[in-house]
Structure 1
Amino acid sequence: MDLQQLVYFSKVAEFQNISKAAEVLYVTQPALTRAIKKLEEELDCPLFQRRGKALVLTENGKLLQQRAQELMQMMRNVKNEVGALNSNKRQIVTVQLRCIFGLFMDVLGRFMKENPDIEFRVLQDDDSGINFGDYDLLLFPTSNPVQSRSREILLKEEVFIAMSDADPLAQKAELKVEDLQGHPYVSIGEKRMFYQTTSTHRKQLRFPVEITAYCDGMTAVRNLVRDWGYVSQMPQYTWSKTDLSGITLRPLSDARLYRYVCMTWNGDTHMNQATKQFKNYLYQYLAERELLYRHKL
C-alpha cells in the first residue's frame, strides 16, 4: 500500500463514483478500478459496496478513509514545517501541465520576468498518473466542467474544424459534417488528451473522414493542414502560440464542441506563497484577455 493508492481511494470515497473520481485524478477508469481492487486485495477486505449507482464505504472502508485523511494531513503539515525552515531560500513552484503549453509559457515568461527569485519546474506528458505531492498546480483539459474547493475551471474554448485558407470550405461561415466528405484528416496523437476529446466527438457525429495521419506535435498537424490539404480539429485559444497563418478555423453547425481547461491543487493550507502568487497572476492574465471562465481572486 502506498500514498498514491490512498489518494485514489479517498477520491472514490468522496465522489462515490469511479468515473467522477477518475476525471478529478486525471487517470482512466480502468486504471482507477485496478488500483482499488489491488488495495482491497492487499488489505484482504472489501472497501466499497454498491448501493444503486453509488459506491459506499464498508466499515473497513470508513476506517481506512479516516486513517488516510490523517496521513495526508500529516504530509501537508510536514511540507509546511519544512517550507518554514527554508523560508529564506528560493521558492519553487512545480506545475504539471497537460494542455495550453503555448499559452502557459507566455504567462510563465511574463511572471518570471517580474519575479526572478521564484523557480519553476514544469512537468509535461507524464502518462503514469498523478502522484500526491508531485505538483503544486495541475492544469488539464476536460469535457466535464466540475468545480470544487481545490479545482477550478480556467477557461472554456470551442473546438473548430481547421483547413487551409485555400480550401473551398474556408469560404463558408459554418460547416456541416457532410462538408468534410472526402477530405484527408490528420489527428493529434492518441496519447494526447486533445485526441480523447476529438475522437469522442468524431464518433458521435460519424465524421465522414478517413484518418490517414497521427501527429504528436501541433506543428506537424498545422503543416499538413496548411500545406497538404488536410483537415483537422483545433482548439479556439490554447494553440494560439502556434503559428496558424494560412489556416482557417470554422465551427460545426451540427453540434458545437467545447472543452474546458481546469486547474487543481493539493489544498490551500500548504500552498506556498509563490504558488499563491502565480495562481492569482494566472487568473489576472486570463481575465485581462477575457478568457477566464470564472474569475476568483
Structure 2
Amino acid sequence: MNLLQLKYFQVTASLQHMGKASQQLRVSQPYLSKTISSLEKELNVKLFDRKGKSIVLNESGKIFLDAVNNCFLSLDKAILDIQSISEDKNKELTILAVSCSYVLPKLLTSFKIQYPDIKFKIFQNIEPNKTSEDYDLCIFSSNENIPTSNKVTLLEEEIVLALPITHPLSNLKDAYLSNFIDDEFISLEKTKAFRKIVDNLCENINFHPNIGLECDSPSTLRSFIKNGDGIAFVPKITWGIKSNNFIKVVHIKNCNCYRYINLSWTEGKEHNESLEQFKEFIQSFFKKLNDNYVE
C-alpha cells in the first residue's frame, strides 16, 4: 500500500465513477481499475459494490475513505508545520558581534521597525567548539582593510584619545602622542580585539603607553576616564564617547590611527532573504552613523 494507491482510491470514491476518476487523475481507466483491485486484494475486502458499469462505495469503503481523508489531512498539516518551521528558521539570524556592542541595540531596534518578524540571536564571544563560520554574520574590527568576497567594511573609524576634563591638555583639539608619554593609560585587556589593534598601532609608531589600568569592558573604561583615573585610546564613533563635561576627545597628530569595522559571512553557505535584508540595512546604518557624526 502506498500514497498513490490511496490517492487513486480517494478520488474514485469521491466521484464513484471509474471513467471520471481516470480523467481527473490522468491515468487510463484499466490502470486505475487494476490499482483499486490491487488495493482491495491487499486489504482483503471489497471497497466498492459493482452494479453493471457503475460502482458504489460500500460500508467498508466508507470507513476506509474516512481513514484515508484523515491521513491526507494529517499529511497536509505536517507539511504546513514543516514549512512553518523552515520559514521561522529563515527569519532567525545568529550574529557574532565581537565589536560595536555599544551601537548594536540601536542598529537592531532600527532594523526591527522595518522587519519586525525577523528574530536574532546575538553572541559577543564564540561559543565552545564553534568557529565564526557557524554564525550567519560576524561583526568584527581589524587594523587593516583587506577586501574579500565574503566581507564588507562597514566603517573606517578614527582612533582618538579620551582625556578626563581635568587633564592639562584637555583644551586641545589635537596633539602629538609624545605629549602623553608620562601619562597613565587605561586599556582593555590584551585578549580584546581593540587592544590588539592599539598595540599594533603603538608598535608601528614606536610609542609605548604606560598602561596602569586594564579592564574588559568599554563602558567600565569610560567610567575610569570620567573619574580621572587615566587617559585611553578609543574609537571615535562606535563607543559613544564624545567631548562633554567630564571627558575630552583629542585627535592624534601625524598618525594614521584608524580601525575598520567589518561584516563577514560564510562563503558558499546558502543565504536567505532575511540575511540579505540585514546585510543591506547594516551597511546603510553605518554609513549614516558616520555621515551624521558630530563631535
TM interval, shorter chain, is 0.5 to 0.7
Go from structure 1 to structure 2 and tell me whether the alpha carbon gap of 1:85 and 1:108 turns closer, same or farther (over 3 Å shift): closer
* 3-state secondary structure, aligned to 1:102: coil
Equivalence for 1:70: none
Go from structure 1 to structure 2 and tell me whether the alpha carbon gap of 1:111 and 1:158 turns closer, same or farther (over 3 Å shift): same
Q: Partners of 1:201 and 1:274 in 2: how far apart?
A: 37
Q: Summarize deviations over 1:102-151 as a string: whole Å, max 9, x none.
A: 11221112212332221101111238696264111111101121112211
Residues 151 and 262, structure 2, Cα contact 8 Å, conserved in 1:
yes
Equivalence for 1:200: 200
Q: Partners of 1:167 and 1:127 in 2: how far apart?
A: 41
Go from structure 1 to structure 2 and tell me whether the alpha carbon gap of 1:244 and 1:117 turns closer, same or farther (over 3 Å shift): farther
Task: Tell me which amino acid in the other structure corresponds to 1:174.
Answer: D
Q: Partners of 1:271 and 1:205 in 2: how far apart?
A: 42
Correspondences of 1:157-168 after superposition (within 5 Å): 157-168=157-168
Unaligned runs of at least 5 residues, structure 1 = 1-81, 293-297
Residues 98 and 139, structure 1, Cα contact 8 Å, conserved in 2:
yes
Q: Partners of 1:223 and 1:88 in 2: how far apart?
A: 41
1:180: Cα distance to partner?
A: 0.5
1:88: Cα distance to partner?
A: 6.1
Task: Tell me which amino acid in the other structure corresponds to 1:97.
Answer: A
Equivalence for 1:189: 189
Task: Tell me which amino acid in the other structure corresponds to 2:98.
Answer: R
Q: Partners of 1:285 and 1:261 in 2: how far apart?
A: 12
Q: Partners of 1:268 and 1:206 in 2: how far apart?
A: 41
Task: Tell me which amino acid in the other structure corresponds to 1:230.
Answer: G
Q: Summarize deviations over 1:177-219 as a string: whole Å, max 9, x none.
A: 2210321111111111000011122233343542111110112
Equivalence for 1:146: 146
Residues 218 and 242, structure 1, Cα contact 8 Å, conserved in 2:
no
The percent of aligned pairs where both chains have the same amino acid is: 19
Residues 177 and 205, structure 1, Cα contact 8 Å, conserved in 2:
no
Q: Partners of 2:129 and 2:196 in 1: how far apart?
A: 16
Go from structure 1 to structure 2 and tell me whether the alpha carbon gap of 1:156 and 1:178 turns closer, same or farther (over 3 Å shift): same
Equivalence for 2:47: none
Equivalence for 1:123: 123
Task: Tell me which amino acid in the other structure corresponds to 1:235.
Answer: P
Which structure has the larger Rg over C-alpha atoms? 2
Q: Partners of 2:210 and 2:193 in 1: how far apart?
A: 20
Equivalence for 1:273: 273
Q: Summarize deviations over 1:21-49 as a string: whole Å, max 9, x none.
A: xxxxxxxxxxxxxxxxxxxxxxxxxxxxx
Equivalence for 1:87: 87
Q: Partners of 1:146 and 1:191 in 2: how far apart?
A: 22
Equivalence for 2:235: 235
Equivalence for 2:176: 176
Deviates more, 1:256-265 or 1:176-185: 176-185
Residues 184 and 210, structure 2, Cα contact 8 Å, conserved in 1:
yes
Equivalence for 2:54: none
Residues 237 and 290, structure 2, Cα contact 8 Å, conserved in 1:
no
Equivalence for 1:99: 99
Unaligned runs of at least 5 residues, structure 2 = 1-81
Task: Tell me which amino acid in the other structure corresponds to 2:194.
Answer: F
Residues 163 and 229, structure 1, Cα contact 8 Å, conserved in 2:
no
Q: Partners of 1:133 and 1:118 in 2: how far apart?
A: 20
Equivalence for 2:223: 223
Go from structure 1 to structure 2 and tell me whether the alpha carbon gap of 1:184 and 1:289 turns closer, same or farther (over 3 Å shift): closer
Q: Summarize deviations over 1:67-106 as a string: whole Å, max 9, x none.
A: xxxxxxxxxxxxxxx9897136672101111101111221
Q: Partners of 1:291 and 1:267 in 2: how far apart?
A: 30
Normalising by structure 1, we get a TM-score of: 0.63
Residues 167 and 229, structure 1, Cα contact 8 Å, conserved in 2:
no
Residues 98 and 140, structure 2, Cα contact 8 Å, conserved in 1:
yes
Equivalence for 2:3: none
Go from structure 1 to structure 2 and tell me whether the alpha carbon gap of 1:175 and 1:116 turns closer, same or farther (over 3 Å shift): same
